[in-house]
Protein backbone atom coordinates (compact mmCIF):
# COMPACT_ATOMS: atom_id res chain seq x y z
CA UNK A 1 0.00 0.00 0.00
CA UNK A 2 2.83 2.38 0.84
CA UNK A 3 4.50 1.77 -2.52
CA UNK A 4 1.20 2.55 -4.29
CA UNK A 5 1.00 5.89 -2.46
CA UNK A 6 4.56 6.77 -3.44
CA UNK A 7 3.85 5.75 -7.02
CA UNK A 8 0.76 8.01 -7.14
CA UNK A 9 2.70 10.97 -5.74
CA UNK A 10 5.49 10.51 -8.28
CA UNK A 11 3.07 10.14 -11.18
CA UNK A 12 0.79 13.03 -10.27
CA UNK A 13 3.46 15.54 -9.23
CA UNK A 14 4.23 16.77 -12.78
CA UNK A 15 0.50 17.12 -13.50
CA UNK A 16 -0.11 19.08 -10.29
CA UNK A 17 2.88 21.36 -10.91
CA UNK A 18 1.53 22.13 -14.36
CA UNK A 19 -1.68 23.53 -12.90
CA UNK A 20 -0.67 24.67 -9.43
CA UNK A 21 3.07 25.20 -9.60
CA UNK A 22 5.03 28.22 -10.75
CA UNK A 23 2.60 30.37 -12.61
CA UNK A 24 3.49 33.17 -14.92
CA UNK A 25 4.89 36.11 -12.90
CA UNK A 26 2.19 38.40 -14.31
CA UNK A 27 -0.45 35.97 -13.10
CA UNK A 28 1.06 36.18 -9.63
CA UNK A 29 0.60 39.93 -9.65
CA UNK A 30 -2.88 39.49 -11.09
CA UNK A 31 -3.78 36.51 -8.95
CA UNK A 32 -6.91 38.07 -7.48
CA UNK A 33 -8.16 39.11 -10.92
CA UNK A 34 -7.69 35.52 -12.07
CA UNK A 35 -9.31 34.06 -8.96
CA UNK A 36 -12.42 36.22 -9.29
CA UNK A 37 -12.65 35.50 -13.03
CA UNK A 38 -12.54 31.77 -12.26
CA UNK A 39 -15.24 32.13 -9.61
CA UNK A 40 -17.40 34.18 -12.01
CA UNK A 41 -16.96 31.50 -14.66
CA UNK A 42 -18.15 28.82 -12.23
CA UNK A 43 -21.26 30.81 -11.33
CA UNK A 44 -22.03 31.51 -14.99
CA UNK A 45 -21.56 27.83 -15.81
CA UNK A 46 -24.00 26.82 -13.07
CA UNK A 47 -26.46 29.37 -14.44
CA UNK A 48 -26.01 27.93 -17.91
CA UNK A 49 -26.95 24.50 -16.57
CA UNK A 50 -29.89 25.78 -14.51
CA UNK A 51 -33.34 24.54 -15.39
CA UNK A 52 -35.32 27.55 -14.17
CA UNK A 53 -35.06 31.20 -15.07
CA UNK A 54 -35.11 32.34 -11.44
CA UNK A 55 -32.31 29.97 -10.37
CA UNK A 56 -30.19 31.01 -13.35
CA UNK A 57 -30.67 34.72 -12.63
CA UNK A 58 -29.58 34.31 -8.99
CA UNK A 59 -26.40 32.58 -10.10
CA UNK A 60 -25.74 35.18 -12.78
CA UNK A 61 -26.03 37.98 -10.22
CA UNK A 62 -23.27 36.44 -8.11
CA UNK A 63 -21.21 35.84 -11.25
CA UNK A 64 -21.57 39.48 -12.24
CA UNK A 65 -20.37 40.59 -8.79
CA UNK A 66 -17.31 38.37 -9.08
CA UNK A 67 -16.56 39.52 -12.63
CA UNK A 68 -16.77 43.10 -11.37
CA UNK A 69 -14.23 42.24 -8.68
CA UNK A 70 -12.00 40.66 -11.31
CA UNK A 71 -12.13 43.88 -13.31
CA UNK A 72 -11.23 45.95 -10.26
CA UNK A 73 -8.27 43.75 -9.36
CA UNK A 74 -7.00 43.78 -12.93
CA UNK A 75 -6.33 47.51 -12.80
CA UNK A 76 -4.53 47.60 -9.47
CA UNK A 77 -1.00 49.01 -9.73
CA UNK A 78 0.53 45.55 -9.27
CA UNK A 79 -1.50 43.93 -12.05
CA UNK A 80 -2.21 46.81 -14.44
CA UNK A 81 -3.80 44.62 -17.11
CA UNK A 82 -6.16 46.58 -19.32
CA UNK A 83 -7.10 43.61 -21.49
CA UNK A 84 -8.11 41.54 -18.48
CA UNK A 85 -10.18 44.49 -17.23
CA UNK A 86 -11.97 44.75 -20.57
CA UNK A 87 -12.73 41.03 -20.70
CA UNK A 88 -14.04 41.08 -17.14
CA UNK A 89 -16.26 44.04 -17.99
CA UNK A 90 -17.53 42.14 -21.04
CA UNK A 91 -18.52 39.32 -18.70
CA UNK A 92 -20.35 41.87 -16.54
CA UNK A 93 -22.15 43.30 -19.58
CA UNK A 94 -23.25 39.91 -20.90
CA UNK A 95 -24.27 38.82 -17.40
CA UNK A 96 -26.39 41.93 -16.90
CA UNK A 97 -28.06 41.39 -20.27
CA UNK A 98 -28.74 37.76 -19.34
CA UNK A 99 -30.41 38.85 -16.10
CA UNK A 100 -32.88 40.89 -18.17
CA UNK A 101 -33.79 37.91 -20.38
CA UNK A 102 -37.36 36.67 -20.29
CA UNK A 103 -36.68 33.14 -21.52
CA UNK A 104 -34.14 30.49 -20.66
CA UNK A 105 -32.82 30.07 -24.21
CA UNK A 106 -31.83 33.71 -24.70
CA UNK A 107 -30.45 33.79 -21.15
CA UNK A 108 -28.22 30.82 -21.93
CA UNK A 109 -26.89 32.45 -25.10
CA UNK A 110 -25.85 35.52 -23.14
CA UNK A 111 -24.51 33.64 -20.14
CA UNK A 112 -22.37 31.53 -22.49
CA UNK A 113 -20.80 34.78 -23.72
CA UNK A 114 -20.22 35.81 -20.09
CA UNK A 115 -18.51 32.46 -19.47
CA UNK A 116 -16.27 32.97 -22.49
CA UNK A 117 -15.37 36.51 -21.41
CA UNK A 118 -14.46 35.25 -17.94
CA UNK A 119 -12.10 32.71 -19.47
CA UNK A 120 -10.62 35.43 -21.67
CA UNK A 121 -9.40 37.13 -18.49
CA UNK A 122 -7.27 34.07 -17.81
CA UNK A 123 -5.76 34.16 -21.29
CA UNK A 124 -5.04 37.91 -21.09
CA UNK A 125 -3.14 37.85 -17.80
CA UNK A 126 0.03 36.08 -19.01
CA UNK A 127 0.55 38.86 -21.57
CA UNK A 128 0.35 41.63 -18.99
CA UNK A 129 3.51 43.51 -18.22
Can you give the residue range of the structural domain that contains 60?
27-127
Residues 6+ apart with CB under 8 A from 116: none
> CA 33 to CA 122: how far, in whole Å?
9
**Residue 40 belongs to a domain:** yes
The domain that holds 40 is classified in CATH as 1.20.120.660
**Residue 21 belongs to a domain:** no
**Residue 19 belongs to a domain:** no
> CA 61 to CA 44: how far, in whole Å?
9
**Residue 114 belongs to a domain:** yes
Residue 11 has pLDDT above 80, yes or no: no
**Residue 66 belongs to a domain:** yes
Residue 21 has pLDDT above 60, yes or no: no
For residue range 66-112, what is the model confidence (pLDDT) as tens digits?
999 999 999 999 899 999 999 999 999 999 999 999 999 999 999 99
Residues 6+ apart with CB under 8 A from 114: 40, 44, 60, 63, 64, 67, 90, 91, 92, 94, 95, 98
Count of domains forming the chain: 1
Name the band, by pLDDT with cuts 50, 70 and 90, for residue 38. very high
Nearest residue to 45 (alpha-carbon basis) of 124, 123, 116, 122: 116
Mapped onto helix, strand or coil, the DSSP state of residue 99 is: helix
Amino acid sequence: MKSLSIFLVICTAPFLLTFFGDRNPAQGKCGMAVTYAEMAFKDFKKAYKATSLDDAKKLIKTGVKKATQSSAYSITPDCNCGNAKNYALNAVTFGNKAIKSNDLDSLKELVKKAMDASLDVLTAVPDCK
